C-alpha cells in the first residue's frame, strides 16, 4: 500500500511561485496548489512508506530556500477507522 500525505507550506514573501515550480517536478509530489489562509501551498505527496514521506519532508521540502514552516498530515486509510 502506498503512503500518502498532505503538506501545508508557509513561504517567504515573493518565493511562493518559485517553490511551487520546484515542487511540481519532484517525483514524490502528486500535486501542488496555491491556497489562501495561513499557509501558501498545499502539497499532495505519495511514497512507498510513511518513513519515506517523512524523509522527503525533512530532507527535501523543509530545507528548501524560502520554506518558512510546514505541517505534514498523513492520510489514514479508511479501513483503520472504527
Q: Given this model, what pLDDT does residue 26 score? A: 86
CB 41 within 8 A of CB 11: yes
Domain 3-76 has CATH 3.30.70.920: yes
* Residue 9, beta-bridge partner list: 41, 70
pTM score, whole prediction: 0.88
Quote the CA–CA distance of 20 and 11 in Å, as a whole number. 10
Residue 70 DSSP SS3 = strand
Q: Given this model, what pLDDT does residue 80 score? A: 60
Residue-wise pLDDT for 13-72, tens only, equals 999 999 999 999 888 899 999 999 999 999 999 999 999 999 999 988 998 899 999 999
Work out the pLDDT band at 4, boundaries 50, 70, 90. very high
More confident residue, 81 or 40: 40
Query: Where are the chain's structural domains?
Result: 3-76
Positions of E strands within the chain: 3-11, 29-34, 41-47, 67-74
Quote the CA–CA distance of 75 and 40 in Å, as a whole number. 20
Amino acid at each position: 500500500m502506498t503512503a500518502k500525505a498532505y503538506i501545508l507550506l508557509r513561504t517567504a514573501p515573493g518565493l511562493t511561485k518559485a517553490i511551487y515550480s520546484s515542487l511540481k517536478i519532484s517525483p514524490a509530489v502528486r500535486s501542488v496548489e496555491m491556497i489562501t489562509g495561513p499557509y501558501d501551498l498545499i502539497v499532495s505527496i505519495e511514497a512507498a512508506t510513511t518513513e519515506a514521506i517523512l524523509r522527503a519532508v525533512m530532507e527535501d521540502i523543509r530545507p528548501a530556500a524560502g520554506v518558512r514552516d510546514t505541517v505534514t498530515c498523513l492520510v489514514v486509510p479508511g479501513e483503520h477507522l472504527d
